[in-house]
Amino acid sequence: MIDLIKKSIYLGLGIASTTKEKVETLVDELIEKGQLAKDEKSKAVQEILDKLERSEKEFKQNISKEVKEAVNNLGIATQKDINALKKIISDLEKKISAK
């Protein structure tokens, strides 16, 4: 039952805007409703915060992956591509000026 409650909390919380205070408030509400024991509060808060942190990292990784794929699909030059071209140009300029 507690797993179901925790999963509901995870889904109901906004990843980026959630603060420790908000999580504590939600856990306090669960305690008031008798759905969570008082002695489980700190553990529950920490578990939720840890889950939110992992979810945020996964979200950022997924966004980064999608952006990279979109850039590749659109054929847009990346900073890496531009730096490689700058090196080639620099090398060519050196060869020309050496003649």
Give residue-wise pLDDT tens across range 3-53: 545 555 565 555 545 578 888 888 899 899 998 899 999 898 888 888 888
pLDDT value, residue 19 = 75
Query: Among candidates 63, 43, 47, 64, which has minimal Cα distance to 10?
Result: 47
Q: CA separation (Å) from 36 to 6, 14, 69?
A: 10, 21, 44
Residues contacting 71, CB < 8 A, separation 6+ = 78
User: Could you tell me which of 11, 43, 41, 37 has the C-alpha nearest to residue 25?
Assistant: 41
pLDDT at 91 over 90: yes
Q: Output the pTM of the full model.
A: 0.56
CA distance linking residue 92 with residue 95, whole number of Å: 5
